[in-house]
């Protein structure tokens, strides 16, 4: 296992023991948001580092985890983050279909 995969493995193991533990949920959600952030940090250069399908699935995982967060302010924060990354991915998908060469121009 590589770095991020082993972290994901251990977070999933912890969640399998207690899927409502708020600390584990926050760590898991933050981990997945970090992956989305990493994969999209070169969009200003018209480069997406991740796999769009996998990242859309990651967003769905995060949405499922958010359902277990009890702190309403965190729910709102994570929901806004997910909306941002999902919109960015959907824009990237549409950009890929276009004739435009620059994602920022798109």
The residues spanned by each domain of the chain are: 3-97
pTM across the whole model: 0.89
Tens of each residue's pLDDT in the chain, 106 residues: 556 678 889 999 999 999 999 999 999 999 999 999 999 999 999 999 999 999 999 999 999 999 999 999 999 999 999 999 999 999 999 999 999 999 998 8
Torsion, CA 94, CA 45, CA 28, CA 3, rounded to 10:
130
Residue 33 · residue 81 · CB < 8 Å: yes
């Amino acid at each position: 296992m590589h770095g991020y995969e082993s972290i994901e493995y251990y977070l999933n193991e912890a969640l399998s023991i207690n899927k409502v533990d708020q600390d584990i949920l926050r760590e898991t959600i933050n981990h997945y948001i970090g992956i989305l952030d990493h994969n999209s940090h070169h969009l200003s250069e018209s480069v997406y580092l991740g796999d769009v399908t996998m990242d859309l699935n990651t967003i769905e995982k995060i949405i499922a985890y958010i359902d277990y967060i009890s702190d309403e302010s965190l729910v709102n924060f994570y929901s806004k983050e997910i909306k941002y990354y999902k919109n960015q991915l959907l824009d990237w998908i549409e950009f890929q279909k276009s004739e435009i060469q620059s994602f920022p121009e798109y």
